[in-house]
């Protein structure tokens, strides 16, 4: 299996596949409370069967060219993930997302990893618009959108029902010409 280095600290990005369901479940368990603040993953991945089903769904999305899931690893340990939740090549749109265990927070891992998947979506798959949907309360994720040079498109008021509470969601995006210009400037 291949790995994409995320910097000089040994962090890397790798696909996460159904055969890794046990490791994936252990990762979710380590971060369950923290991840679950804004992300429904811990409510979906609750045991080995649901872990395998989640990973199988992303394997099927990859095969259909409609989504991707990549694990973030440090020291060989799965500590988070980035994904293209939606990938619509015909429309030229994608929605990126992420999560991390608490031990991996504050190291720039998500920003570095999302850069890789946006580069891939724009340059390899011809995506024109990449979106980032985030709870208005999730400041760290909003900070990632800003670091990536995304523009806040707006707020969907009380659009997301999560654990019995309605949340406002911000939509951020970057367009392929903006992405390329920013990458060229750096």
Q: Using one digit for the tens of pLDDT, what is the confidence trace for 91-139?
A: 999 999 999 999 999 999 999 999 999 999 999 999 999 999 999 999 9
Distance CA 16, CA 136 (A): 28
DSSP for residue 55 = H
**Helices and strands in the chain: count of H runs, count of E runs:** 6, 8
The pTM assigned to this predicted structure is: 0.93
Residues of the chain with pLDDT > 90, as a percent, come to 90
Is 168 in contact with 135 (CB distance < 8 Å)? yes
Q: Shortest CA distance to 92 belongs to which of 185, 162, 179?
A: 179
Q: Shortest CA distance to 44 belongs to which of 63, 25, 71?
A: 25
Per-residue pLDDT at 60 exceeds 90: yes
Strand blocks (E) in 29-105: 68-74, 77-88, 93-100
């Amino acid at each position: 299996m291949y790995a994409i280095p995320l910097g000089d600290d040994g962090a890397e990005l790798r696909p996460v596949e159904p055969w890794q369901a046990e490791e994936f479940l252990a990762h979710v368990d380590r971060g369950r409370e923290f991840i679950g603040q804004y992300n429904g993953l811990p409510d979906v991945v609750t045991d080995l069967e649901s872990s395998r089903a989640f990973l199988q769904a992303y394997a099927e999305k990859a095969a259909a060219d409609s989504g991707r899931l990549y694990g973030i690893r440090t020291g060989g340990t799965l500590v988070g993930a980035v994904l293209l939740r939606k990938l619509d090549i015909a429309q030229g749109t994608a929605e990126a997302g992420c999560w991390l265990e608490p031990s991996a927070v504050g190291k720039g891992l998500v920003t570095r990893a999302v850069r890789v998947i946006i580069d891939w979506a724009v340059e390899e798959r011809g995506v024109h618009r990449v979106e980032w949907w985030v709870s208005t309360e999730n400041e760290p994720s909003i900070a990632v959108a800003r670091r990536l040079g995304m523009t806040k498109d707006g707020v969907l008021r009380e659009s997301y029902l999560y654990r019995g509470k309605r949340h406002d969601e911000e939509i951020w995006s970057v367009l392929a010409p903006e992405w390329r210009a920013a990458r060229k400037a750096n």
